[in-house]
Amino acid sequence: MNWLPPDGALHGIALDNLLRWNLAILFWLFVAAHVLIVAALLLRRPRNSPSSVAAPTKTETLRPLLILEFLTLAAVSALYIAMDVTGHQLWAASREQPSAFQPVEVEITGVQFQWYFRYPGPDGVYGATRPTLVSAPTGNPLGLDPTDPHSADDIVSSILILPAGEPIDITLQSQDVIHGFFVPGMRLKQDAIPGMPGHLQFTPATAGDYSILCSQVCGLGHYRMQARLRIVSPDQYKSWLADRERAVLKAAR
Amino acid sequence: MTRRLFTTNPRALALNYLFLALLAVITGTLLSLLMRIHRTWPNLAIPPHGVIRPEDYLALVTMHGTLMIFFVLTVVPQSAFPNLVLPAQIGAEGMAFSRLNAAAFWITAVSLLVLLAAFFVPEGAPISGWTNYPPLSALSAAGPGQTTGMDLWLVAITLFCLASVLSSANFLVTILNNRAPGMTFARLPLTVWSWLVSSGLTVIAFTALFVAASLLLADRHFGTSFFLPSGIVVNGIPARSGTGTPMLWLHLFWFFGHPEVYITILPGMGLASSILANFTRRPVPAYRLMVIATLLIGVLGLGVWGHHMFVSGMNPYAGTAFGLTTIAISVPSSAEVLTWLVMLFRGRLHPTTPMLFILGFLSFFIAGGLTGPILAQPALDAYLHNTFFVVAHFHLVMAMAGVFSIFAGIYYWYPLLTGRRMNELLGKIHFWISLIAAYGAFFPMHFAGLAGEPRHYSQLNGPVESFTRLIPVERGITWSAFLLAAVQLVFLFNVFWSARRGVAESGTNPWRATTLEWSPIAHPIIGNSPYEYAPAPAPGDNFLPQWEPEKPF
């Protein structure tokens, strides 16, 4: 049975393959070891058999067993190294690369117990925020500073809408405690650490709705700190963004 | 009674530690059952408390983890067992610093009381999990339980660190200085090698945690900001501004946290080698390899902490490096496992209860250990981190393997304390049902993790994601957990019943073992290596204990 949720990200295909063959090999190693343990329990030498009491002779099973042990150790060590190398290729591709050319930028902020998504607007620059201005009840959950000209066109959303097929660059941050930005359907996870904004890059592939969860215990509402990620076609994305931009600029005026 | 409590006799202290751990494990188990009940029947009211609220659930998680990891999985293998047999196994009169050793017990006992007090203060126990990441653990406003409850947790852990460092320093000096004549390093039982390494790790790791907990207390009460950055807003109110970073806590905590895993399991690994040799009547075939593997696990264990932080926003190149050290540590671990498997096929295997529990230990160590190389890969961990896959991993490789080796130790060393053996039939019932129930409780958690279910969720159905297909899995886990807890009553009954009614032993060496805790002689001169089960000095008596004169050839 396939337990993994459907994958919607470009890097997820290789990741799922890697995870599947790793799980398969390790599962069979688990089975093999247990066959040995059960065999040792069931195939016990008879009581009073000579080899169970008397001194083992030099040729008794030890040497071949030890050679077998060292060969097996070498084999599993080679397997671990192969896993590390193949795993590192994926890690390097997703985390050790420079920023993609002209990615879609979005800033994600974790707040007990909400995710907020901010798009920089037509000017392409995020406006300044101030902790003292944070006020969710009055519609300014991120503390946007109205005196900063860049903040007037910023779009703050509680749903994350992104275009399929385009590289995304997320700036990830937290307003209060550590949160974990986790999108199982995008095979994506990184902690949002207060005071230390981080970056996360990926390319969504398949349109659809995906769940955003919090993967780092953040307080009593941890289990309900969820949001929706909607992957749409690039055209739908452009028209949605244009609608929101118009609405924001109208409100600012 | 008073004399029993204020003793400096290591064996009496071992019993004190065991009773302390019993209190902790009963409490910790009941907490886990409450968690399971809440996850399976979220709206069930539990008298006298009522329905478990989300913050109650997180308090249960925090206290369950803290009790089990510190007061059970550390106290028994790293405090109770060494007090029980370490001096005897090296032929020492007692501990090097017997008052210091007794003081360590008392500090541990106070630490447990301080921790348990967190349930009874306003707002209750802390809710930030046993890892207590700041700012959630640093700011009282961040949630219920983060006021007095959090302070009590930090004080309890600071005391526990102090006790652990004191008692481990004592073990280190005892092993290095108090060995009997003839007890060379090459003749140390593998349990003693394990305690040498785990005590060294304890001194280093618990010092780091002591520092971390003290600094967090300072952040909470003395206006420092080791772990607090600027610009934090909690509940719409700007918090005190600071110049620190929570990342410092993550590094300090896991610099403790990962060696801690080896502290809890290394003594069990040493015991596994001894018991496998004893009940197959054959020596440990690769003694030197086992010693080197134990030392390597200790050294490498100090350099893998970053694998808990792959997705913390730590530099990705650091993630690559920690992935490599973690893969490296699976090599000596695999070497030990393969040696144990080889030992199963030599001589005649005697399936006594201690032997069965070591086979169970081996089974869980393999089951949980094999997911290690997956979680060691940053790319895969970036999906599995903080999901139930990790919960499955450490409950198998640390909790169940650890607990099964503890049971093996108790069944094995019971005659030392009582002169009687525990009942074998009850022991076997205890073993088989525990084995099945433990797999039933923890193996399916892999599937929940693969499905993406995060840890610390007080309920499955959230506003966006509801994990409905996991409900049958969760239900199975809950029933298995009940069975696992229930069958421990058989063990408890056996412990107390066998003390009076168990099979009385005529000699001092019921298992026909070779190590010195079974010696009938008070001041032995050590003539043999620890596992001389092969050459037959007399017909039918195919072992040569360490206290016997050196073998003639």
Would you place residue A47 in the very low, low, confident or very high pLDDT band (cuts 50, 70, 90)?
Answer: low
From A35-49, A192-206, B440-454, B527-541, the region with the lowest mean pLDDT: B527-541
**Cα B326 versus chain centre, distance:** 19
Q: Which domains does chain A have, with CATH numbers?
A: 12-95 (no CATH), 104-252 (2.60.40.420)
Task: Identify the CA nearest to B449 among candidates A11, A189, A14, A79.
Answer: A189
Task: Kindly tell me if the per-residue pLDDT of A249 is higher than 60.
Answer: yes
State the Cα–Cα distance between residues A51 and B346, nearest whole angstrom: 9
Q: Look over chain A and give the mean of its residue pLDDT values, rounded to a whole number.
A: 91
* pLDDT score, position B383: 96
- The mean pLDDT of B11-22, rounded to a whole number, is 96
Inter-chain residue contact A177 with B247, CB threshold 8 Å: no
Q: What is the pLDDT of residues A101-142, one digit of tens each?
A: 899 999 999 999 999 999 999 999 999 999 999 999 998 999
- The mean pLDDT of A80-94, rounded to a whole number, is 94
Would you place residue B396 in the very low, low, confident or very high pLDDT band (cuts 50, 70, 90)?
Answer: very high
Would you place residue B1 in the very low, low, confident or very high pLDDT band (cuts 50, 70, 90)?
Answer: low
Would you place residue B150 in the very low, low, confident or very high pLDDT band (cuts 50, 70, 90)?
Answer: very high
Task: Kindly tell me if the per-residue pLDDT of A177 is higher than 90.
Answer: yes
Task: Kindly tell me if the per-residue pLDDT of B265 is higher than 90.
Answer: yes
* DSSP classification of residue B90: T
Q: What is the pLDDT of residues B18-32, one digit of tens each?
A: 999 999 999 999 999
Task: Kindly tell me if the per-residue pLDDT of B297 is higher than 70.
Answer: yes
State the Cα–Cα distance between residues B547 and A212, nearest whole angstrom: 64
* pLDDT score, position A58: 46
From the DSSP assignment, how many helices (H) and strands (E) are in chain A?
4, 10
Task: Kindly tell me if the per-residue pLDDT of B284 is higher than 70.
Answer: yes
Inter-chain residue contact B127 with A220, CB threshold 8 Å: yes
| β A168-174/A198-202 pair status | antiparallel
- Whether the CB of B143 is below 8 Å from some CB of chain A: the reply is yes
Partner residues linked to A140 by β-bridges = A135
Cis peptide before B48 (omega within 30 of 0): yes
Inter-chain residue contact B345 with A22, CB threshold 8 Å: no
- Whether the CB of B553 is below 8 Å from some CB of chain A: the reply is no
- Whether the CB of B471 is below 8 Å from some CB of chain A: the reply is no
DSSP letters along B485-535, please?
Answer: HHHHHHHHHHHHHHHHHSEEPSSS-TT---SGGG-S-SS----S-TT--SS
Is the pTM above the cut of 0.90? yes
State the Cα–Cα distance between residues B67 and B74, nearest whole angstrom: 10
B203 CB neighbour count, 10 Å cutoff: 17
Under 8 Å CB-to-CB from A165, ≥6 apart: which residues? A203, A204, A205, A234
Q: Which domains does chain B have, with CATH numbers?
A: 2-230+240-518 (1.20.210.10)
Task: Kindly tell me if the per-residue pLDDT of B537 is higher than 60.
Answer: no
* pLDDT score, position B188: 96
**B126: distance to nearest CA of chain A, Å?**
10
* pLDDT score, position A1: 54
Task: Kindly tell me if the per-residue pLDDT of B194 is higher than 90.
Answer: yes
Task: Kindly tell me if the per-residue pLDDT of B248 is higher than 50.
Answer: yes
- The angle, 0 to 180 degrees and rounded to 10, between the axes of the packed helices B190-221 and B81-89 is 140
- Whether the CB of B428 is below 8 Å from some CB of chain A: the reply is no
* pLDDT score, position B535: 55
* pLDDT score, position A52: 46
Q: What is the pLDDT of residues B55-85, one digit of tens each?
A: 999 999 999 999 999 999 999 999 999 999 9
Q: Look over chain B and give the mean of its residue pLDDT values, rounded to a whole number.
A: 94
DSSP letters along A64-106, please?
Answer: HHHHHHHHHHHHHHHHHHHHHHHHHHHHHHHHSSPPPSSPEEE
* DSSP classification of residue B551: P
* pLDDT score, position A99: 81
**B175: distance to nearest CA of chain A, Å?**
30
Specify the higher pLDDT residue, B144 or B536.
B144
* pLDDT score, position B485: 98
Inter-chain residue contact A182 with B454, CB threshold 8 Å: yes
From the DSSP assignment, how many helices (H) and strands (E) are in chain B?
19, 6
- Whether the CB of B272 is below 8 Å from some CB of chain A: the reply is no
Q: What is the pLDDT of residues B324-347, one digit of tens each?
A: 999 999 999 999 999 999 999 887
DSSP letters along A3-50, please?
Answer: -SPPP-BTTHHHHHHHHHHHHHHHHHHHHHHHHHHHHHHHSPPPTT-H
- Whether the CB of B65 is below 8 Å from some CB of chain A: the reply is no
> 3-state class of A221 per DSSP?
coil
* pLDDT score, position A214: 97
| β A208-214/B503-504 pair status | unpaired
State the Cα–Cα distance between residues A249 and A155, nearest whole angstrom: 9
* pLDDT score, position A59: 46
Residue of B235, B363, B542 lying closest to A54 (CB–CB): B542
From B3-12, B47-56, B74-83, B277-286, the region with the lowest mean pLDDT: B3-12
Under 8 Å CB-to-CB from B251, ≥6 apart: which residues? B305, B309
Q: Are B283 and B531 in contact (CB under 8 A)?
A: yes
Q: pLDDT over 90 for what percent of chain B? A: 85
Q: Are A32 and B514 in contact (CB under 8 A)?
A: no
- The mean pLDDT of B28-50, rounded to a whole number, is 92
Under 8 Å CB-to-CB from A105, ≥6 apart: which residues? A119, A120, A124, A169, A171
Interface of B with A in 14-53 (CB under 8 A): 53
Task: Kindly tell me if the per-residue pLDDT of B214 is higher than 60.
Answer: yes
Q: What is the pLDDT of residues B86-137, one digit of tens each?
A: 999 999 989 999 999 999 999 999 999 999 999 999 999 999 999 999 999 9
Task: Kindly tell me if the per-residue pLDDT of B552 is higher than 70.
Answer: no
Instruction: Look at the alpha carbons of A154, A157, A160, A165 in this order and tell me if their dihedral is positive or negative.
Output: negative
